[in-house]
Amino acid sequence: MSLPDLRGATAIVGVAESDLGEVGPDRYAIELAAQAAGAALAEAGLNTRDVDGLFCAIAGRGMAPLDVAEYLGVRPRYTDGTMVGGSSFISHLHHAALAITTGACDVALIVYGSTARSDSGRGRLPSGPPELPSYEAAYRPRMPITGYALAAARHMHQYGTTRTHLAEVAVAARRWAALNPKAFVRDPLTIDEVLASRIVSSPLSSLDCCLVTDGGGAVVVTSAERARDLPRPPVYLLGAGEAHWHRTISQMPDLTVTAATESSTRAYAMAGVGPRDVDGVQLYDAFTINTILFLEDLGFCAKGEGGDFVSGGRIAPGGALPVNTNGGGLSYCHPGMYGIFPLIEATRQIRGEAGERQQPGVSIALTHGNGGQLSSQVTAILGGQETL
């Protein structure tokens, strides 16, 4: 049985964040998810009564779709609680498109919330420590950073990547964040400051690591036909692909190559475009090495050339390839999982609604999510009306 043609069949019609940063001890993840959902639905000219497809994942809530549906008062006829870490929400977009085109639902709400920062202040974490196999636990790794540090160290050894290359990623993210009034940290950052920051898991320092913030996000998706009658310009799903090869870092086949090589190949094929056609990239930058690995695996440069590729401000404001124009997980926000926020930023860039950080002529945007320890990889390519 062949799958339906998804290219341009569905569109994002509403996006929103909740309050971000540090919301305080009296607010909770599901409340932030609901705040974002209400704002995204309002932007789309819809309400909870229109929602018949619910897609969500919240850390620490094993039945997140049931909790969220009850809290919002929606009664979905299609539910998806796929939980593959931070890539879940781009996966949800792919699944929502399949559900809508096959008639399983008409209006899909993708939603997330987390109080990761405030939870730590309350003396409790939103979820327990990562599960480790005994052969990893014996070495007492500090997960997840230890896994990403392994990948960074291997990339350095194999390709000559340096800490300065990693610092270029952090500085670029901060320069974008300076243009985003919602970003958690906006003060200037230099390469020397990154290099001088405290090492957490060699070779990664504190400034190579993502933020820990509170926040939520929501994305509303419907059919292309219905989207044309709604208030905001539709942003169409042109292509999507998913892949995963491992769960634990010790089982990753090659520490320098991620399953983004496969997810992006599938997304490009569905969209009928390639890296040269992409006007902007929004990807999951939990650590600075992520950006280098993903730009390689998504086809923007050859394997091993990522460090040089990001150098000299290439991915910063004014550079040749705009990457994480909201400031990314490194400087904008990272509430436990970041994967819904690339979709929100890509939508705003295509609509021309990104304010001071808006890039000219964004017709095609690539979004990419990462889950686990470079484990789950999901790529989605979005486009405006002119791309159909």
Give the catalytic positions in this structure. Answer: 284, 332
User: Tokens in use for 320?
Assistant: 């040749």
Closest CA to 306 of 314, 315, 296: 296
Sequence-ordered alpha helix ranges (H) in the chain: 29-44, 64-72, 88-101, 116-121, 134-137, 145-159, 163-177, 191-196, 224-227, 260-271, 288-297, 306-309, 328-331, 340-351
Element (H, E) at 371: strand 364-371
User: Tokens in use for 350?
Assistant: 């295509």
User: What is the dihedral angle through the alpha carbons of 189, 315, 14, 53, rounded to the nearest 10 degrees?
Assistant: -100
Chain centre to alpha carbon of residue 56:
14
Q: What is the DSSP letter of 253?
A: S
Contacts of 157 (CB under 8 A, 6+ apart): none
Sheet bearing 214-223, strands edge to edge: 78-80, 53-56, 107-115, 214-223, 10-17, 235-244, 376-383, 364-371, 280-283
Concatenating the DSSP letter of every residue in 2-60 gives PPP--TTTEEEEEEEE-S-B---TT--HHHHHHHHHHHHHHHHT--GGG--EEEE-BTT
Closest CA to 176 of 332, 346, 299, 68: 332
Concatenating the DSSP letter of every residue in 72-115 gives HT---SEEE---BTBTHHHHHHHHHHHHHHTTS-SEEEEEEEEE
Residue 261 CB neighbours (<10 A):
17
Q: What are phi and psi of 181, to 5 degrees?
A: -65, -15
Compute the distance between CA of residue 191 and CA of residue 174 in angstroms, rounded to an integer: 11
